[in-house]
Amino acid sequence: MNSTVEKTTLKFLFLSGIVAFFNLIRKPLMKDWLIIFFLKSYIASILDVLAVKKGYIKYPVTLFKVFDISFLFSYILFPISCVYYNQLTKNSNVFGMIAKSLCFSVPMTIVENWLEKNTRLVEYKKSWNWKYTFASITTTFLIVRLIMDIIRKATNTGYTATNKE
């Protein structure tokens, strides 16, 4: 892909992400969805910065030149997918949460792997490969879900992970 097509793709994903964000926060439990969104952004940006600084991942073509990380993925697309995941697992048991996390992390890993092989949007360096991407995506979905359960139990609001599907 050439740089113009890649930039256009990023702009389309950015606009789609903004629309999806506003759609998400209109649903009940808006406070929870915003906490998840910002928590996931925080975790994703830390992990992305570490991976970039250690030289495992590089983003040659970006939407915003001031960031070394993928702003679009870490601050918009990944957090939005985590909110959707949390909405789908609001009444899930542990097995349901793990199974549903795979429904998100497997396609996301496949897409990133395809992007790495066919575009300049992401480049794996050193020993990084799709397995690390898959593990980090899956783990962060589950960590954010666990943190939200702890928050809900501490504040005695919302749903818990002990509800059955």
pLDDT tens, residue by residue, 75-123: 999 999 999 999 999 889 999 999 999 999 999 999 999 999 999 999 9
Expressed in percent and rounded to 5, the helix, strand and coil fractions of the chain are 70, 0, 25
- What's the whole-model pTM score? 0.86
pLDDT in tens, 24-67: 878 788 899 999 999 999 999 999 999 999 999 999 988 877 78
Taking the CA atoms of 101, 104, 107 and 111 in sequence, report the sign of the dihedral they define: negative
Beta strand pairing call for 123-124 and 57-58: antiparallel
Beta bridge partners, 57, equal: 124
Work out whether the CA dihedral 28, 94, 143, 149 comes out positive or negative: positive
Beta bridge partners of 124: 57
